[in-house]
Structure 1
Amino acid sequence: MGAWGVGTFENDDALDWLGDLTDTDDSAAVRALLAQALASDCLDAPDATTALAAAETVLSMLDAATPALAWHEEFAAWLPRHAAVADAGLGAAAVAAIDRVLGEESELRELWEETDDADDWRAAVAALRSALVARLAASG
């Protein structure tokens, strides 16, 4: 699975995606990735992992105070240039993508269910979802 922790960016696929995002300097990639995750019949593990990364990115775009990405210098430079494109529609897509990752047709969920850390992973993903929903509600 290439993961060393339950956090969104504690795996190779998410970090690679984040690096590509900041290298290309294109916020449209976030929307495209979420749309791809929502359109997929069965969400494979790498796509689910990057969908969570995109959702965490959207949270940062909506609320720059999100600590999960504060350590990533390139993202810290990328964020001010792209935060303005985040809107309620992008936030709703991020929440829907998280729901897909947690759903029955998610290979990533199945892989985590086979580990001792399944409860911690579900809690981390649920916390991301809750933070997005709360941010969307606050922005109104």
Structure 2
Amino acid sequence: MGTWGIGPFENDMAADFADALDEAAEDEREALVRTTLIRTVQTQGYLESPEGAEAVAAAALVAAQCPGGEPISSSYGPDEALPIFASDLQQLAAEALDRVVAEASELADLWDEAFGGPKWRQTISRLRSVVAPEPEPQEDSLFDL
């Protein structure tokens, strides 16, 4: 797999995924993102690198539509407009990202051996915090005492 950076679309598999999204009919694009995330979450055993890279790209597309999400600025990302995704994709994206960084993941193994591994993990962590933000702690009020 050709990889030239830590970004979600800076590898051959993610760029091919973006091309597939561009070639899909507009009403089929969300289903393609959903299917990619579900396939990753449901993978038993070792998650292969290509599937992991596609899941990261799909999760980045979901994150781009969330508050605090960054737009996809890579020239290797999709060119065609994407629909507004259903909100349930956020949790699915978080689960897929968790699977990608799990112990039985080739993509995680490859990045752990690479110089940029810690930065890649930070990128994944940032994406995850956007799609599934931690709830704000509740402040005690005088009425709760």
**TM-score, normalised via structure 1 length:** 0.83
CA drift of 1:114 comes to 1.0
Q: Deviations over 1:64-121 (max 9, x none)?
A: 9622x14559846412xx11x321x211000000000010110100011111111111
Q: Does 1:6 align with 2:6?
A: yes
Pairing of 1:1-40 with structure 2 (within 5 A): 1-24=1-24, 25=26, 26=28, 27-40=30-43
Seq. identity, %: 33
Q: Contact conserved, 2:67 with 2:130, CA < 8 A, in 1?
A: no
Equivalence for 1:61: 65
Following superposition of structure 1 onto structure 2, how do residues 1-140 of structure 1 map, counting pairs within 5 Å?
1-24=1-24, 25=26, 26=28, 27-41=30-44, 42-63=46-67, 66-67=70-71, 69-72=72-75, 75=78, 77-79=80-82, 82-83=83-84, 85-87=85-87, 89-134=88-133
- Structure 1 unaligned residues grouped into runs of 5+: none
1:22–1:74: 8 Å Cα contact kept in structure 2? no
Over aligned residue pairs, what C-alpha RMSD do you find? 2.4
Runs of 4+ deviating beyond 4 Å: 71-74
CA 1:112–1:54 in 2, change beyond 3 Å: closer, same or farther?
A: same
Letter in structure 2 aligned against 1:55: A
How big is the shift at 1:63?
A: 5.0
CA separation of 1:3 and 1:71: change in aligned 2, threshold 3 A: closer
Distance 1:106 1:64, change over 3 A: same
Q: Larger helix proportion, structure 1 or 2?
A: 1
Q: C-alpha distance in 2, partners of 1:6/1:78?
A: 24
- Structure 2: which 5+ residue stretches go unaligned? 137-145
Alpha-carbon distance in 1 for matches of 2:74, 2:11: 15
Quote the offset at 1:54 in angstroms.
0.5
Aligned partners of 2:3, 2:76: CA distance in 1, in Å?
21
